Amino acid sequence: MCNVLYEDNHLLIVEKPPNLLTQGDATGDVCLLDAMKQYVKEKYAKPGDVYLGCVHRLDRPVGGLVAIARTSKAAARLSEQLRAHDMQRDYLAVVHGANLAESGTLSDWLQKDDATGNVRSVQQGVQGAQQATLHWRCLAGNPADNTALVLVTLETGRKHQIRVQLAHSGHPIVQDMRYGSGTAGEPIALWGAVLTLTHPTKKERMTFVSRPQGKAFAAYGAQVDAYLAERAQQR
């Protein structure tokens, strides 16, 4: 069962585990949205179909926070927040390379390969390319294993954006089997750790935090806890 951090008549905030689809795809595998529909149906004894609207996604291997609307009004308002950059999604990642600057911005043009599903960085002007921008801050580095813990804030929301941009910058995410390397059985070291939004009906600003899972994050436990504690106080 997925961990539900918040719920009311309009909104669900759920912690998606790694390797679970956010929404269904051609594989037909179980997805978060279907699991939450079943959760609502059983908990509230709802007859017939349950409406839930997913306004943003996490890549299948990535765990973390997802906002799900329980009404069409909430879905429309949350989607507008996303378009207006009023919904803030902050990610924690462990990347290869400990020699990072204190902070920086990555801006690339990304193109999806429909045949493979992979995304790559291309030159501006290439057909189908979309601009992608993110901001990052180094929270800690570990020269012993040549990794660093970074905070990533999205300005755009492209497919595989964080993974592709960090890899293209020379700092692929630890355990990213698609755009880097890793060992089977360990989750990718990327986590949707902080989600800030305005409640669709109460109009209250709300911040939710989620502690990353996985071996790579365990090495940075103290730094992760300190950062999440700081953000949790902003609720």
Per residue in 57-67, pLDDT (tens digit) is: 999 999 999 99
In the numeric block, which tokens belong to residue 28?
């037909």
4, burial (CB in 10 Å: exposed 0-12, middle 13-18, buried 19+): middle
Active site residue 113: no
pTM value surpassing 0.85: yes
What is the per-residue pLDDT for 28? 77
Whether 69 has a pLDDT exceeding 80, the answer reads yes
What is the per-residue pLDDT for 220? 97
Per residue in 88-141, pLDDT tens? Answer: 999 999 999 998 999 999 999 999 998 888 999 999 999 999 999 999 999 999
The residue with greater pLDDT, 14 or 184, is 14
SS (H, E, C) 187-235: CCCEEEEEEEEECCCCCCEEEEECCCCCHHHHCCHHHHHHHHHHHHCCC
pLDDT confidence bin for 235, thresholds 50/70/90: low
Instruction: Domain of residue 39: give its range.
Output: 3-232
Per residue in 145-192, pLDDT tens? Answer: 999 999 999 998 899 999 999 999 999 999 999 999 888 888 999 999
Residue type, 31: C
Among residues 25, 59, 145, 176, which one is catalytic? 59
Phi, psi of 162 (to 5 degrees): -60, -45
Helix extents (H) in 31-180: 32-43, 72-83, 161-168
Q: What is the mean pLDDT of residues 2-15?
A: 96
Q: What is the mean pLDDT of residues 42-47?
A: 89
Q: What is the CATH number of the domain that holds 201?
A: 3.30.2350.10
Whether 26 has a pLDDT exceeding 80, the answer reads no
What is the per-residue pLDDT for 1? 65
* Number of domains comprising the chain: 1
Q: Are the C-beta atoms of residues 90 and 194 closer than 8 Å to each other?
A: yes
